[in-house]
Amino acid sequence: MITPGQFFRLFTIQRTLIRHGVDEIIFGTPLFHSFRFLLYLLPWNWWRRKYAPTAVRLRHVLEELGPIFVKFGQILSTRRDLLPDDIAEELARLQDRVPPFPGSEARRLVEKAYGRPLTAVFAEFSEEPLASASIAQVHAARLKDGREVVVKVVRPGILTVIRRDIGLMYILAGALEKFWGQGRRLEPTGVVAEFEKTLIDELDLLREAANASQLRRNFAGAEAIYVPEVHWELTLREVLVMERVTGIRVDDVAALKAAGVNLQWLAESGVELFFTQVFRDHFFHADMHPGNLFVQPLSGGHARFVPVDFGIMGSLSDFDQRYLAENFLAFMNRDYRRVAQLHVESGWVPRDTRVDDFEFAIRTVCEPIFDRPIRTISVGHLLLRLFQTAQRFHMKILPQLLLLQKTLVNVEGVGRQLYPDLDLWAAARPSLERWLHERVSWRKFMRAVREHAPSWLERLPELPALTIEALDRIKSGRWDEATQKELQRLRKDLLRAQRQTRRLILGSTLLLGMALLWAGTAVPPGRTLLLLALAGAGLVLVLTALRGD
C-alpha cells in the first residue's frame, strides 16, 4: 500500500527520470521492450534531446533524488555481480555529501538527547559543522577538562525519509521479481533488505561507538594504527562523542612527502593492517575511502594510520575466513585446481560442480592477468572477475564477501596511489601465512579442545538416544524413502561423530596427562618409553579423530 507521502514522491522520481531520459533506458530493457512504442507517444520525447551516456545519467538521477538514493547507489556499486562494469564504476563515484542542517538545530538535538543545557556538558561547542552526510553531521567541541572531541548528531527527520524511500524500493523490487524472468535469481528485494539494514545500523550511533571501541581494543599498543577513543559517558543512540584526531589525508601525497613519510612503507603497512583485521580479528573497517583515513607522521619516515567513521564494519565467519585465506594463497601459487576444490568444499558452488570445468574457467580468467606486470594487477578486480565467473557455476555471492571485495579495492587503490609499484600479493602473504600457521598450531588446537570439551561431554550421551529414535521412526513407516536414506546417512554420521568424539577426548586426555606428568615430576627410570608410548597413542587418537577416519 502506497502512502500519500510515497505517492507524491513518485511524481518527483518520475519527473527526474524523464528529465534525464531514463525512460528511454527503461523501455530498452527486456522487461519493457515490448512496450517500446509507448516511448514515442510521450510528448516529452517528440523533440530530440542529447543525453549523456547511460551510466552517467543514472548517477545524475540518484544524486538529484537525494541522500538515500545516493547511498543506495554506493552500495549497489559493490554488487558487480548484478551490474555492468560501466554502471558500477560510475555509481562508485557517488559522493555522500548533502547540505548541512543549521548548527542551532544540532545544538537543540544534543540538548534534547542529554536532557540538559549544552553548557553543562561542553566547555565549547561549534555550530559550524566539520562534515555533513546523509545520516549524521559532525561538530567540533571541547570537554570541561579541556580535551578536544567531535560530536556526531543524527540528522533530524531522517528516519521518516528512509522509511518512505525504502518502501518505494521494496515495491519496485517486488515488481521486478514478479514480472522479470531474472528477478528471482538476482533477488532485488534481498538487495533492498541489505541496504535497509545498513541504513538502520548507521542510525544507531551506539553501534558505531561499539565498532570503534572494538577496533581500538584490537590494535591497543600498535604503532602503525591509532583508533580514537569513544567517550561512552556522553554517547547515546542519537549522539556520539569521540576523541578529536588530526592528520594528513591519506590521498594527499604531496603533504605526506613533505612530512618525510616513506610512502612504500606506508602502502605496505596499510595492506598488512587490512589483512590483519580480516584474518586475525575477523573484524574490519569496511569504508576505507580516503576521506575516512588519515596519517600522522612519526620519526624515521614511519607514520601511523588514523581511521574515522566506523558505521560500516565487516566480519567473516571462521569457515569463510579459512577458505578465503587458502584461496588467496592458492592464487599466489597459481594453483587453480586447489582454488576450484576450495570453492566446492566450502559450499560456495554446488557440490555436483565439475572441478575440472571450474578449474579451466578460473585459469582462463587468471592467466592473462598474472602474465602482466605486478603493478598493473588489481587483486580486488581479480576477485570480482572470479565472482562473475563463479556465477556461471551457480555460485551465490555472500554479502560479506562482496563487502570484503569492495574494501579491498579501496585499500589497494589507496596503496597504489601512495606507491604505484605496490605488490599487494607480497604485502599480504606474511599475514596470510602467519594466520594459517597459527590455525594449525598445537596452541590453537589445545585451546579449541578446552573450549569445546564440556559441550562434547554434555551432548555425547544424547547421540545413542537420537539414533534409536530415528530408527524407530523409520521402522514405523513414518518417513518416506528419501527421508529414510537421509536418516541412514545421519545415523552413520552420528556414529562416526560419536567415535571421533571419544577418540578426541581420550587422545587429548592422554596428551595433557603425559605433558603434565612429564613437566611436574621426575620420570622414574624405565618409564620413559611407557610415557612416550601413551603420548604417541594419544596423538594417534587425536589425529584420526580430526581426519574423520
pLDDT tens per residue, range 218-263: 999 899 999 999 999 999 999 999 999 999 999 899 999 999 999 9
Task: Tell me what pLDDT residue 240 has.
Answer: 96
Percent of the chain surpassing pLDDT 70: 66
What does 290-359 look like in DSSP terms, one character per residue? GGGEEEEE-GGG-EEEEE---S-EEE--HHHHHHHHHHHHHHHTT-HHHHHHHHHHHTSS-TT--HHHHH
- Straight-line distance from the first to the last Cα atom of the chain, in angstroms, rounded to the nearest whole number: 58
**β-strands 293-297, 122-132: how paired?**
unpaired
Tens digit of pLDDT for each residue in 328-338? 778 778 888 88
Residue 250 CA to residue 491 CA, distance in Å, equals 57
Tens-digit pLDDT profile for residues 250-301: 989 999 999 999 999 999 899 889 888 988 888 999 888 888 899 999 988 8
CATH number of 102-155+204-244: 3.30.200.20
Crossing angle for the helix pair 442-459 and 424-439, to the nearest 10 degrees = 50
Q: Are 244 and 270 in contact (CB under 8 A)?
A: no
Q: Strand, helix or coil at 123? A: strand
306 pLDDT band (50/70/90 cuts)?
A: very high
From CA 377, how far away is CA 334, in angstroms rounded?
14
Res. 58: pLDDT tops 50: yes
| Confidence check: pLDDT of 41 > 60 | no
Closest CA to 402 of 383, 375, 423, 415: 383
The order of strands in the sheet holding 248-249 is: 248-249, 293-297, 303-307
Residue 127, pLDDT above cutoff 80: yes
Q: Which residue among the candidates 281, 287, 352, 356 is catalytic per the annotation?
A: 287
Torsional class of 347: left (φ above 0), alpha (ψ -120 to 50), beta (otherwise): left
Mean pLDDT, range 413-437, rounded to an integer: 78
Measured from the Cβ of residue 12, the count of other Cβ atoms closer than 10 Å reads: 12
List for the chain the helix, strand, coil content (%; round to 5). 65, 10, 25
Phi and psi at 369, nearest 5°, equal: -80, -45
- Sequence length of the chain is 549
Sign of the CA dihedral running 59, 61, 64, 68: negative
More confident residue, 358 or 378: 358
- Residue extents of the structural domains in the chain: 4-95+163-200, 102-155+204-244, 248-438, 442-547
- Active site annotation includes 201: no
Residue 33 DSSP symbol: G
Q: Contact 33/27 with Cβ under 8 angstroms?
A: yes
Dist. CA 402–CA 74, nearest whole Å:
13
236 in Cβ contact with 205 (< 8 Å): yes
pLDDT of amino acid 114: 93
Q: List the one residue out of 524, 467, 535, 474 whose CA is nearest residue 499.
A: 467
Q: What is the pLDDT of residue 382?
A: 73
Question: What is the DSSP secondary structure assignment for residue 288, as one 8-state letter?
Answer: -
pLDDT band at 37 (very low <50, low <70, confident <90, very high): very low
Residue 52 has pLDDT above 80, yes or no: no
Residue range 134-140: mean pLDDT, rounded: 91
